[in-house]
Amino acid sequence: MSFSGDGGIIRADRDKISQVMVNLVSNALKYTPAGGKVEVSATGSEGLAKITVKDSGEGIAKEDIPFIFERFYRADKSRSRQTGGLGLGLTITKAIVDSHKGTIQVESEPGKGTVFILSLPKNPA
């Protein structure tokens, strides 16, 4: 796992944004095999902070991407509560990002990995 960048300072609920990061990084680690890579980077412009969580894991099928932020949705149907969580992490993540007037995007290719891009205003109105 690697970290890089400087997104600057944002005004946000630290606990909630920490929860977003825990959700995204734990998912990246869960779906990346041993020897794979997880990278977290932060960049910023005058009014926006961008945090990227990128992994070299199994990826998400194109047809699943529109649904991954829905409650209880699991792209991998073989996962159960015992092995794959409740299917709420990304739903909670999106709700927190929305409450901070931010956006979250996902880019993925099966077999090559996934990138989550979190954009947050540095000083939300």
Specify the pLDDT at position 72: 80
DSSP-based three-state secondary structure for 25 = helix
**8 - beta bridge partners?**
none
Number of domains in the chain: 1
Domain coverage including residue 86? 2-121
pLDDT, tens only, 82-120: 446 667 899 999 999 999 999 999 999 999 999 999 999
What CATH number should be reported for the domain holding residue 77?
3.30.565.10
- pTM for the whole structure: 0.86
Query: CA-CA distance, 107 to 99, in Å (whole number)?
Result: 22
